[in-house]
Structure 1
Amino acid sequence: MTAVKQGAPEEGALEEGAPEKRAVAVPPARPPARGGAVTLRWVAARVLGWSVLAGFAVAVLYPLLWMVLSGFKDNQEIFEQPWGLPGALRWENYARAWELGVVRYFTNSVIVTVASIVATTLISAWAAYGLCRLRMPFGNAVALLVLGGLLLSPTVALIPLFRLLTSIGLFDTYWALIVLYTAFRVPFTIFLIRAYMIELPREVDEAATLDGASPTQIFWRVILPMCRPILVSAALLQALFAWNEFAFALVFVSDDAMKTLPVGLMAMQSRLLTDWPVVLAGLTIAALPTILLFLAGQRQFIRGLTEGVGK
């Protein structure tokens, strides 16, 4: 047998003072892409994505642009050159539409929309606070009952609501539309705000309670400011609904002086018969406030929906 020399380092052992060797995992070599196939696939996907987005933008923006430009034309240009530019900027079409009743219908829509926004948002926020932040008996059952209001179609209740509003003296008034717009939108708005409030940390409630705040003070001074994104989202959705709603405004308001924009523009079109530039000018005036309102609050609107319902 061969004697092993005493003190000789074993195989694989590190010599004294030598740096420690660490095993490094070497990834397997990837075969090179043939002919730039990966790059071409990526470029094709990007081009396809941008093409789809551009198609959606054209489909949304072009009808609005056509309506605005047609309001500057005369009848001859509308029928002979429907897709062309107006020969001149005829601002008198917009002025005539404003004088023929759009200003009255516009004012009525503003009153009804603003009142329903305030009522719907505050009632829904207060109800959502009670359902998810306070201890109340049968809270889950009450939440399901409130959300069950989403299953009720407004058009199904037209006849009973007509008799009810006539009997209590609200027919042909602003209150008829304000109450109905609020009542039929409260369940959905509670759903939105409640989904956002559930995710708020309860430590803020406990800290405010230790400082001596009542539940009402916690709601107004703590919870409500923290819910600003979802409140803006709820207000914008309510504004779009109340501004464009047609069925209730047609059935429950008969006085021309009380009509809102959707019904008023229909009545104005029946009076003007073939004066299409003035009608299109009135439609442009009706669409402009909601577009500007959404552009002003779109950041809060998207943030409220993604942080609330998206969670």
Structure 2
Amino acid sequence: MVSRLSFMGVIARVFMWAFLLGLVVVVVYPLLWMVLNGFKTNAELFSDPFALPVDWSFDNYRKAWNRGVGDYLTTSVLVTATSTVATVFVSAWAAYGLTRVDIPLNKAITALILGGLMLAPTVALVPLVKMFQAMGLYNSFWALLILYTAFRIPFTTFLIRAYMIDLPREVDEAAEVDGAGRWTAFWRIILPMCKPIITSTVLLQILFTWNEYLFAMVFTSGSGVQTLPVGLTSLMSKHGTEFPVVFAGMVIAAVPVVLLFVFGQRYIVKGLADGIGK
């Protein structure tokens, strides 16, 4: 009986490792294929798309950069950085008010903010376009900043609030005894204690903003304000016959996110586990 159980355990482990290996191949191989094709010429790509490049030249990456990828990258960095700072700060301040301050209709306000999680962005596209056109913000950096901040505040507030609920109330009382106001207590005491969930929300906001396509496509039309996902589409339509250049642009766009996920995934998991998992 014992030997049978151990044999079944070995079989289960073999199947588990086979599944994980297959999953790695499914995820990694397309990325590797994209990187390799960024070094090829059109003739090499169409003659044998799965072969290694004959000449490992960075000409396609230089072409992609000069054809607008550099500008798209700059715009994406600016939009991502500003929206991340705005979203996390507003959400943390809102979570602090909902968990540490006794305010009237606290539960109703919490339900109203979290109700934003149920709002699908596609439903609001037409009225949002009309509103931004009337305000003169359409096709501008501010349009993306407002949209990326507003639509992510409910989710980010939900995460930070779940973490703040379990923070000891004694720290608030000690801060009040020492003469600290609400802002000082929030900025110097509560926020540092929320470092794990703050780190997680920052990384999640960066990943969302960097890859977001719908808002960037609908609310921007000029090359000066387009982010990488939309810019790469334009690159493909303008220079569609040079697919290696398009692949090179995709690699440039993917590298920051891949590096961020590789080095930040443990912080994401730890923050979410310490917050929602409590």
Which bin holds the TM-score, normalised by the shorter protein?
over 0.9
* Partner of residue 204 from structure 2, selected from 219, 237, 256: 237
What's the offset of the Cα at 1:241? 1.4
1:143 and 1:286 map into 2 onto residues whose CA distance is: 37
TM-score where L is the length of structure 2: 0.97
- Aligned pairs, number: 278
2:22 and 2:168 map into 1 onto residues whose CA distance is: 42
The equivalent residue for 1:295 is: 262
1:144 and 1:214 map into 2 onto residues whose CA distance is: 27
**RMSD of Structure 2 on Structure 1 (CA):** 1.2
What's the offset of the Cα at 1:76? 2.0
1:229 and 1:69 map into 2 onto residues whose CA distance is: 37
1:128 and 1:108 map into 2 onto residues whose CA distance is: 30
- Runs of 4 or more off by more than 6 Å in structure 1? none
2:109 and 2:40 map into 1 onto residues whose CA distance is: 56
The equivalent residue for 1:67 is: 34
CA deviation string 1:232-274 (max 9, x = no partner)? 1111111111111111111111111211111111111111121
The equivalent residue for 2:165 is: 198
TM-score where L is the length of structure 1: 0.87
* Partner of residue 169 from structure 1, selected from 136, 141, 145: 136
Structure 2 matches for 1:79-90, cutoff 5 A?
79-90=46-57
Identity %: 55
2:85 and 2:262 map into 1 onto residues whose CA distance is: 20
* Partner of residue 50 from structure 1, selected from 10, 17, 20: 17
User: By percentage of residues, which structure has more helix?
Assistant: 2
**Which ranges in structure 1 are unaligned for 5 or more consecutive residues?**
1-31
Judge conservation of contact 2:204–2:268 (CA < 8 Å) in 1. Answer: no
1:178 and 1:100 map into 2 onto residues whose CA distance is: 25
Per mean C-alpha deviation after superposition, the further-off stretch among 205-214 and 189-198 is 205-214
1:148 and 1:118 map into 2 onto residues whose CA distance is: 22
CA deviation string 1:157-212 (max 9, x = no partner)? 11111111111111111000000110011001101111111121222222222222
**Which ranges in structure 2 are unaligned for 5 or more consecutive residues?**
none
2:237 and 2:52 map into 1 onto residues whose CA distance is: 26
Code of the aligned partner of 1:238: Q
2:177 and 2:17 map into 1 onto residues whose CA distance is: 54
What's the offset of the Cα at 1:106? 0.5
* Partner of residue 222 from structure 1, selected from 177, 189, 214: 189
Higher relative contact order at CA 8 Å, sep ≥6: structure 1 or structure 2? Answer: 2
**Rg larger for:** 1
What's the offset of the Cα at 1:125? 0.4
